[in-house]
Amino acid sequence: MAKTARRKPAVAKAKAHDLAGLVQYADGSIVSRTIAQNDAGTLTLFAFDKGQKLSEHSAPFDAVVQILDGEAELVIGGKRVRAAAGQLVVMPANVPHAVNAVKRFKMFLTMLRARG
């Protein structure tokens, strides 16, 4: 009989978590950690070192960015949006966007897939 590998949950359920503490900075890098992923969407934490970037891209569903630490510059449809710790930005579906780390920052990204 074949063994079925059980995937370890990204975070313990029914417990409070410090989001910013779940992902650590790395010099000259972008670190990501997927917290949850299913057909409805994805929850991912990111830690960007100063000067790091995600080049322009788009997604077929809305993406919500919550800045947990530091400051980021988002470019959404050509418009620059600065966001700091405690702020939230919605990036609409099918609109090109990019992410620039003007300072070290951490963000919590929620990708919402529409059901049709």
Q: Which CATH number does the domain housing residue 61 bear?
A: 2.60.120.10
Q: pLDDT tens for residues 30-79?
A: 999 999 998 889 999 999 999 999 999 999 999 999 999 999 999 999 99
**99 vs 32: CA distance, rounded Å:** 14
**24 vs 4: CA distance, rounded Å:** 31
Structural domain that includes position 101: 23-112
Q: pLDDT tens for residues 3-24?
A: 444 455 588 989 999 999 999 9
- pTM, rounded to two decimals: 0.88
Is 45 part of any domain?
Answer: yes
Helix (H) or strand (E) holding 110: strand 105-112
Number of domains observed in the structure of the chain = 1
Confidence of residue 1 (pLDDT cuts 50, 70, 90): very low
Output the pLDDT for position 10. 80
Output the pLDDT for position 3. 43
**73 vs 98: CA distance, rounded Å:** 8
Say which residues have a Cβ less than 8 Å from residue 106's Cβ, sequence separation at least 6: 19, 20, 23, 25, 45, 46, 47, 48, 67, 68, 69, 70
Q: pLDDT tens for residues 96-111?
A: 999 999 999 999 999 9
Output the pLDDT for position 113. 85
Q: Which two tokens stand for residue 4?
A: 């079925």
Task: Write phi, then psi, for 5 (nearest 5 degrees).
Answer: -75, 130
Is 13 part of any domain?
Answer: no
